[in-house]
Amino acid sequence: MIDILAVARRVFAVESRSVADLSNFLTEEFEKAVLAILHCKGRIVVCGMGKSGLIGKKIVATLASTGTPSFFMHPAEAFHGDLGMITPEDIFIGISNSGETEELIRILPAIQRSKNIFIAISGKKDSTLVKNADFFLNTFVEEEACPLQLAPTSSTTAALAMGDALAVALMELRDFKEENFALFHPGGSLGKKLLTKVQDVMRTEHLPFVSPETSMKELIFKVTEARLGLAIVLKDNKLAGVVTDGDIRRAWNDYDTFLQKTVADLMCGTPKTISPNTSLADAEQILINFRISTLVVVDHEQKVLGTVQVYNIK
C-alpha cells in the first residue's frame, strides 16, 4: 500500500530544495536583466512551450499586475506570424528547462535580427537557448519531483520562482505600492477598498440624531431603531458628540439616577470622524486601530453627512 502522505511530503521536500538552491545560481546577470526590464520602453514578451508556456503565462500575469507591461507569445504561433507583435523596444524572455525546445529555437534568428534584448530562463547553461541569450537566469534543478524524472515538476516550480523574483525586484525598484496594485485590480477586494470612497458606501438615511437635552428613554429608542450601535449628538446642526450602546450600558449601572440623565451626561464630545473623500482602506484602518464599528462622516464644517461601518467595507 502506497503511503500517499509520504509521497506528498517527498514532493514538497524535493521542490522546496530546488527553489532554495536557486540562490546559489544567482549572478550579476540577474541584476542586469532586472535593470534592462526596468528601463524597457516597450513590453516584456514571454515565450515558452508546453509546461514552460503555462509558467510563462503566470509570469506575464504577475509582471503585468505589478507594473511591467507584458504579454505571452506561443512559440508555434510566433513562427507563423505572431512575431509581428514584437517591436524593437520589447524585451524577449524565453523559458525552456532543456534550452533546446525546437519551437523556441526556431524563432531566435528573428529576435536577433530585431536586436531585442533576450533573456533565457533555463536549467542548462550550455544549451542553444542560453548561448544566444543576452542574460541567462539559471533554474537548474538536481531532480524532478516526478519519480520517473520525466514530468516537469521541480523545474517548472524553479522557473516560476525565478519569474516571481524578477517581478518582486522590479516592484521594489519602482516603489510599487498598494495604490498602484489597486489600479490593476479594480475588481478585487483591495481595489475596492483603495479606489472606493467613503461617500460611495456611507449610510445617509434614518440616522439616529439626538440633542444634548434628549432623555434616556428617547435615546434608547433612537439607538435601538437605527441599529448603528450609537446615536449622533447634534448642536446647532453640527456634530457635538456620540453616545454608544456601551455608554448606555455603563450608565445603567447607576439605575437609581439613570432615567434622570440626559444625553449630555453620557456623550463623548470627541468622536472619531472621517471625511467623505477618504478611501475605504483608510476607513478600515481607523476602525481597526480604535476598535470601533462605526465612524461618523462629516464635512469641513463638522456637519454630519452619514456613517460608515465595518460591514460597508468587507
| For the chain, domain boundaries | 4-176, 198-313
Cell numbers for 91, please give them. Answer: 524585451
Instruction: Answer whether 4-176 and 198-313 agree in fold.
Output: no
Domain boundaries 198-313, CATH class:
alpha beta
Report the mean per-residue pLDDT for the chain. Answer: 90
Tell me what percent of the chain is helix, strand and coil, each rounded to the nearest 5.
Answer: 50, 20, 35
pTM of the prediction?
0.67
Cell numbers for 228, please give them. Answer: 448603528
pLDDT of residue 314: 55
Q: Report the DSSP beta bridge partners of residue 93.
A: 46, 119
Tell me which CATH code domain 4-176 carries: 3.40.50.10490
For the stretch 229-240, pLDDT in tens is 899 999 999 999
* Confidence band of 95 (pLDDT split at 50, 70, 90): very high
More confident residue, 100 or 81: 100
What percentage of the chain exceeds 90 in pLDDT? Answer: 64
For the stretch 203-250, pLDDT in tens is 999 899 999 999 988 989 998 888 888 999 999 999 999 998 888 888
The span from the CA of 15 to the CA of 267, in Å, is 60
Contact at 8 Å (CB) between 272 and 294? no
- What average pLDDT does this structure show over 157-172? 95
More confident residue, 36 or 191: 36
Contact at 8 Å (CB) between 260 and 280? no
Type and span of the H or E element at 147? none
Radius of gyration of the chain (CA): 30
Whole-Å CA distances, 282 to 188, 189, 301, 313: 16, 14, 21, 10
